[in-house]
Amino acid sequence: MRVVQLTPGTGNFYCGACVRDNALAHELNALGCETLTVPLYLPMVTDEPADDGMQPILFGGLNVYLQEKIALFRHTPRWLDKLFDNPKLLRKLSDRAGMTSAKELGEMTLSSLKGMDGKQAKEIRHLVDWLKEYGHPDIVLLSNCLLSGLAKQIRAELGVPVLNTLQGEDGYLDSLGDPYSDQCWSALKHVANDVDLFIAVSPYYGETMKSRMSLPDHKVVAVYNGIKLAGYGPSQRPDNPPVLGYFARLYPAKGLDQLVDTFIRLKERKSIPGLKLKAGGTATPSDEKFIREQKMKLDAAGFLGDVEFVENLSHEDKIEFLKSLTVLSVPTAYAESFGLYVIEALASGVPVVQPAEGAFPDLIEETGGGLLFKPRDTEDHADTLEKLLLDVTLAQEMGERGRLEVNEKFTVRKMAEGMIEVFERVSAPGDHSIQAAAGV
């Protein structure tokens, strides 16, 4: 079986979807399922070497933008388009991605969901031609539902199943604002008919998107995310002084500002002597103002000296960072579809404290590796963290229990096996209706 996975890149920062898709491709290949990963829009940035089957960038971000804005570029020759798909150029331009307005994002998202009826029809033509000449897939796997506009043309010309991963797109669509949010949701519901099957990264998110996209039960399955365990292992959790940790993108949606507020609350209580905060993760140029604001807040409260910010870590440095924590908490401002950082922390034996919404309740129940608090409630957040930070025995038990459960249930091998099961069932003659979730 040959799978072509289409994954949007970020150009200049690590993202959970890229990391997850790259790890999945490696493991599928290791299991004998030949997999090519094709980056779309921008180069992929992963915390491990990119999949050996990585291909040239298609649906290049600059071409997509120019074709959206200027009709002339919808008719330019391929040799010129290839110049605009140069990875070095796209990587440089990605530094300015944060300057794109919500209106422009809304327009381009809507246009891409319209497929061949949108302004990027030429790019779809190039992509399908490449798949026919070089890809030769038995299955095409789209990394997220924002790519669903590609499905109709791929199925029509290649005659192969098109599957679509669901991994957190609702927050982006909701953030587009009027009128684009409603228009994009409506377009997504329409093009969903062209996708053979949607694969959610958690049962919670499968149910969420099934409802929001008006999908029938047989069109959605769930396969939990997984990680490579190499390098992870029991940590020497610091308890004197304890270290509260955060590892995700350093921006508001992941709740760094709430964690800073909660940390200040804990320091003011003086119940945990010497408490430190370590915040690590991806930071883009557009995040720097927000990070400075958090440092100013901490400085005004008199606690900046107890806090360390670490940006854009390598895979190895990330593992060492996680091992240096007592407890991890990423109080997202939205209902998270999964949260790789939860299982990464648990793989290091570090317990977590997460908001009681999204996929977190399921992950805590599956692993026993942490506690839940009321979403966006700083006082309850502080109380819950305080309980775990003060009870060393409980924290150790939860961390070790979580580590063992992650080793059993949330490995990249487990994820890849679940995906192969889905591939085989959707490829079976006359069987494109999968009723039960796979790999859960």
For range 72-77, the mean pLDDT = 86
Amino acid, single-letter form, for residue 228: K
Q: Where are the domains of the chain?
A: 2-226+413-427, 243-409
Asked if the model's pLDDT at residue 440 lies above 60, the reply is no
| Tens digit of each residue's pLDDT (9 = 90 or more) over 152-188 | 999 999 999 999 999 999 999 999 989 999 999 999 9
State what percent of residues in the chain have pLDDT above 90: 72
For the domain covering 243-409, report its CATH number.
3.40.50.2000
| Long-range CB contact pairs, 179-187, < 8 A, 24+ | 179/106, 180/102, 180/103, 180/105, 180/106, 180/107, 180/109, 180/110, 181/106, 183/106, 183/110, 184/106, 184/109, 184/110, 184/113, 185/212, 185/213, 187/110, 187/113, 187/114, 187/149
Query: How many angstroms separate the CA atoms of 373 and 196, rounded?
Result: 38
Identify the bridge partners of residue 353 per DSSP, sorted by sequence position.
371
Per-residue pLDDT at 52 exceeds 50: no
Question: Would you say residue 45 has pLDDT above 80?
Answer: no
pLDDT averaged over the chain?
A: 90
What does the alpha-carbon distance between residue 119 and residue 73 come to, in Å, rounded to a whole number?
Answer: 10
* Architecture of domain 2-226+413-427 in this structure: 3-Layer(aba) Sandwich (3.40)
pLDDT value, residue 181 = 95
Is the fold of 2-226+413-427 the same as that of 243-409? yes
Instruction: Match 């955060």 to its residue by tokens.
Output: 246
Tell me the average pLDDT across 1-10.
89
Give me the pLDDT at residue 100, please: 59
**pLDDT confidence band for 399 (50 / 70 / 90):** very high
